[in-house]
Amino acid sequence: MSDHGHDSEDLQGHEKKQAAEHEPLRPMVIHEIIRAEGDAELERPAGALIWSGLAAGLSMGFSFLAEALLRGALPDAPWQHLIASGGYCVGFIIVILGRQQLFTESTLTAALPVMTEPSAAKAMALIRVWALVFFANVAGTWLFAFALTAPGLSSPETRIALADLAGESLAPPFWSMLLRAVFAGWLIALMVWLLPSARTARILVIGLLTYTVALGRFSHIIAGSTEGAYAIMTGTAGLRAYLGGFLAPTLIGNTLGGAVLVAMLNHAPLRTEGKTG
């Protein structure tokens, strides 16, 4: 790997510093950045996790609303989904740039410290973070969905689009939902892995990967929870369909995609490199 001017006799001190700022991060550096963030998450007070998780759940509702606003404004055409899926990125941009606690991010960041230095104490701390953030996120999605049912809030076209998106989120059968959730968890956790290197392109990275989640109709536990809660509140689905048909398979799939396919596959070779190097 190039030293980007560190040893160049043609550069002055401040010019060497500028060159160093453009040096790409090594994989071990990215691993350490995310692991340090995970350590900080494991040590956060319960109240901070709950409030941040609640804020994230509320913010994720804007993915549902923005996608419905675009769909409601577009004609019913084959390309409608290509455009409307762009709205799905809104909630993720708010949550990630706002540093709010999102469950699918925590499956990666909070898991790395446990994988790096396994211990019963850290494992319990991980379960604590996952549980608090998950339930706070879900509570936020239900509050947002309830707000969307307020009379006069949206146009008839938007209400139709909200109902259609909500129904689609609960439609796939269990195993299809689980597989879609694996891909969603995989993409979101990969996004977390890419962000330390993204620098000024953070919004582009967030938008590209979350747009892919929407375009592929992959199932995200928090974004989809707003849709499922809205379906229940408007009478188009029952609680059983939400809990057993959406929440259970999506929770399993997102966790597998985030914690196993990314944390394990990216962690294992890097830790081996670190121990042998």
Band (197; pLDDT cuts 50, 70, 90): confident
Mean pLDDT value across residues 202-223: 96
Mean pLDDT value across residues 242-254: 95
Give the pLDDT confidence score for residue 125 in this predicted structure. Answer: 93
Q: Which amino acid is at 241?
A: A
Hey, where are the domains in the chain? Answer: 25-276
Q: Which two tokens stand for residue 17?
A: 């510093």
Band (266; pLDDT cuts 50, 70, 90): low
- The more confident residue out of 117 and 228 is 228
Band (18; pLDDT cuts 50, 70, 90): low
Cβ 168 vs Cβ 88: under 8 Å = no
Other C-beta atoms lying within 10 Å of the C-beta of residue 200: 6
Give the pLDDT confidence score for residue 268 in this predicted structure. Answer: 59
Closest CA to 55 of 87, 103, 88, 89: 103
Give the pLDDT confidence score for residue 20 in this predicted structure. Answer: 53
| DSSP per-residue string spanning 105-159 | HHHHHTHHHHHHS--HHHHHHHHHHHHHHHHHHHHHHHHHHHHHTSTTSS-HHHH
Give the pLDDT confidence score for residue 19 in this predicted structure. Answer: 47
Residue 28 has pLDDT above 80, yes or no: no
Give the pLDDT confidence score for residue 200 in this predicted structure. Answer: 85
Q: What share of the chain is helix, strand, coil (3-state, %, to 5)?
A: 80, 0, 20
- Express each pLDDT in 154-194 by its tens digit: 999 999 999 999 999 999 999 999 999 999 999 998 898 88
Task: Write out the CATH class of domain 25-276.
Answer: mainly alpha
Q: What is the mean pLDDT of the chain?
A: 87
Q: Which residues of 210-248 are buried (b: 16+ CB within 10 A; e: fewer)?
A: bbbbbeebbbbbbbbbbbbbbbbebeebeeebbeebbbe
Residue 11 has pLDDT above 70, yes or no: no
Mean pLDDT value across residues 73-78: 94
Residue 265 has pLDDT above 60, yes or no: yes
- The more confident residue out of 269 and 128 is 128
pTM for the structure as a whole: 0.86
- Express each pLDDT in 91-124 by its tens digit: 999 999 999 999 988 777 888 888 788 899 999 9
The dihedral built from the CA positions of residue 251, 253, 257 and 263, taken in this order, carries a sign that is: positive
Band (133; pLDDT cuts 50, 70, 90): very high
Cβ 180 vs Cβ 174: under 8 Å = no
Give the pLDDT confidence score for residue 59 in this predicted structure. Answer: 97
| DSSP per-residue string spanning 204-223 | HHHHHHHHHHHHTT---HHH
- Express each pLDDT in 233-244 by its tens digit: 999 899 999 999
